[in-house]
Amino acid sequence: MTKESRLFKTLGALTLSPIFSGMAIAFPPHFICSEKSTMEKAVIVKSSSAAAVSPSPSVPPVILTQDELKKIAAYKAIEYVESGMVLGLGTGSTAWFAVNRIGELLQQGKLKNIIGIPTSKKTEEQAISLGIPLSDLNEHPVLDLAIDGADEVDPHLNLVKGRGGSLLREKMVEGACRKFVVIVDESKLVDHLGGSGLAVPVEIVPFCWKFTADRLQSLFEYASCVAKLRTCGENGKPFVTDNANYIVDLYFKKDIGDLKVASDSILRLAGVIEHGMFLDMATTVIVAGKLGVTVKNK
């Protein structure tokens, strides 16, 4: 039996359990939690007895690599997809597996009449290579479903996205979906957005970028904000988005407070295109952890 077949046999009991993790973990067939309305209360769908959470003697524990976890996450996320849907195709390493799987299912005839709306040029190129029919928001202003990852998730299912640089197109596409399913590992959960200490991206016009960056930093001086222009590796040149814009990354040492006030303040600055806070957009967040998978719904 191959490692992949063992892996899926091990996880076969999970009926709805996309998994995303930043590290390799032993993942026997654990219980699944389902959570609605609040982040704090979860209902165990399967028995939480020791017998239920212990791997079967016939199925040895499998140590999963990061890519294997991403692949399982993507394959489970595809369970939301039905023939005839218009889909938002996310961008990033986990979304890559989802797009690839959609292409496979179309080729096998298991999915039909799918139309994809890509959230980046990279995803567009991948989808074309797989034969996935594509369109845009002009032709399909309302989408059935989008599946994508996130960089941070707060207790109210607000997100930080865009550390990969595709925040504007992601927000346009995912904001037009009837259902937006987000897949993360438990390390992405934060008490408040910006709480990880990592970047909250803002897409800006290149013209006088330092002027805009300084204004963004001053705007959040109360949160000890540091604004940095995103650059490309060793050459130090500015990172350029698919829309020919720059990105300023904001780093916060303190809670920025009311997110809607912060959002409005950022968007009022001339030179700002969009920010990476996705507020009240996710309808479902699937969180993978060492003990199982929790589904959190709005």
Question: Using one digit for the tens of pLDDT, what is the confidence trace for 11-31?
Answer: 444 443 333 333 333 344 333
Strands 115-118 and 237-238 come out as: unpaired
Quote the distance between the C-alpha of residue 13 and its chain's center: 24
The closest of 27, 43, 31 to 290, measured between CA atoms, is 27
Reply yes or no on whether 170 is catalytic.
yes
CA 119 to each of CA 143, 169, 287: distance values in angstroms, whole numbers, following the listed order: 13, 5, 22
Task: In whole angstroms, give the CA distance from residue 286 to residue 186.
Answer: 9
- Do the Cβ atoms of 131 and 107 come closer than 8 Å? yes
What stretch of H or E contains 160? strand 159-160
SS3 124: helix
Burial class (CB in 10 A: 0-12, 13-18, 19+), 168: buried
Residue keyed to tokens 């998730």: 153
- Do the Cβ atoms of 102 and 116 come closer than 8 Å? yes
pTM score: 0.80
Decide which of 64 and 30 is more confident.
Answer: 64
Q: Which of 124, 152, 170, 174 is catalytic?
A: 170
Quote the distance between the C-alpha of residue 166 and its chain's center: 11
Question: Using one digit for the tens of pLDDT, what is the confidence trace for 103-148?
Answer: 999 999 999 999 999 999 999 999 999 999 999 999 999 999 999 9
Decide which of 67 and 162 is more confident.
Answer: 162
Helices (H) and strands (E) in the chain, counts: 8, 19
- Domains, the chain, with CATH or none: 66-186+279-290 (3.40.50.1360), 200-270 (3.30.70.260)
Task: In whole angstroms, give the CA distance from residue 269 to residue 13.
Answer: 50
SS3 260: helix
Note the pLDDT of residue 62.
57
